[in-house]
């Protein structure tokens, strides 16, 4: 698996159920609420420091997702993608990448067309059961609770940059 992981140049993520626990909460004023895990966010920042780009493809549209992407410096964002394959193909062309250079994390059947194409496919521990046998990796952590960080750590280690990127935390 390390050979496939070491070729990854772009990590693409679904949002609901991957970056969040999949729940959508509305308050009495009609505001939408989502919870993002800060450990996932730190993993994404370290992944970017390792030179691996990060992008989001999601079927829903949410200002919260745009805000979280901006906070994390993620400029590859496609929202409202009911069929995720078209934006995926567009991103590959824009980034000049081949399927084998992309990792994707999804949690439901709508993600399957991309999961079947990428160089490294992953799903979260609490994904729909049908995905589990069809991906390269199933996280130990559930969506929105460290699953993204787990993938980031795998990719950083495979890139050979783990010690370099984490040294500053241990050398204090």
At 18, which CATH number? 3.40.50.1000
Judge whether 172 lies within some domain.
no
Q: Give me the torsion for CA of 84, 88, 94, 96, rounded to 10°.
A: 180
Judge whether 11 lies within some domain.
yes
- Please write the tens of the pLDDT for every residue from 99-151: 999 999 999 999 999 999 999 999 999 999 999 999 999 999 999 999 999 99
Give the C-alpha separation, 145 to 29, whole Å.
27
E strands along 14-139, which residues? 25-26, 32-33, 53-57, 76-78, 102-106, 120-123, 137-138
Judge whether 68 lies within some domain.
yes
Give the C-alpha separation, 41 to 13, whole Å.
12
pLDDT at position 2 is: 77
Judge whether 171 lies within some domain.
no
Q: 147-159 vs 38-49: helix axis angle to the nearest 10?
A: 20
Total tally of structural domains belonging to the chain: 1
**13: part of which helix (H) or strand (E)?**
strand 10-13
CB neighbours of 170 closer than 8 A, spacing ≥ 6? none
Judge whether 126 lies within some domain.
yes
pLDDT at position 110 is: 96
Q: Could you tell me the residue range of the domain that residue 35 belongs to? A: 2-164
- Please write the tens of the pLDDT for every residue from 43-80: 999 999 999 999 999 999 999 999 999 999 999 999 99
Judge whether 145 lies within some domain.
yes
User: Residue 1: which pLDDT band, with cuts at 50, 70 and 90?
Assistant: low
Judge whether 170 lies within some domain.
no
Torsion-angle region of residue 63: left (phi > 0), alpha (psi -120 to 50) or beta?
Answer: alpha
Judge whether 62 lies within some domain.
yes
In Å, how far from its chain's centre is CA 19? 7
């Amino acid at each position: 698996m390390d050979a496939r992981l070491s070729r990854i140049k772009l990590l693409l993520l679904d949002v609901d159920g991957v970056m969040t626990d999949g729940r959508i909460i509305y308050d009495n004023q009609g505001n939408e609420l989502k919870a993002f895990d800060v450990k996932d966010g730190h993993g994404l920042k370290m992944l970017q420091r390792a030179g691996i780009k990060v992008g989001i493809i999601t079927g829903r549209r949410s200002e919260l997702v745009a805000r979280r992407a901006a906070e994390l410096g993620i400029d590859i964002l496609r929202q409202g993608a009911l069929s995720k394959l078209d934006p995926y193909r567009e991103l590959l062309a824009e980034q000049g990448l081949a399927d084998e250079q992309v990792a994707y994390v999804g949690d439901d059947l709508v993600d399957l067309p991309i999961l079947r194409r990428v160089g490294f496919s992953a799903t979260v521990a609490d994904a729909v059961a049908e995905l589990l046998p069809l991906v390269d990796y199933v996280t130990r952590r559930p969506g929105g609770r460290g699953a993204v960080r787990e993938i980031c750590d795998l990719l950083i280690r495979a890139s050979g940059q783990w010690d370099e990127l984490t040294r500053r935390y241990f050398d204090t």
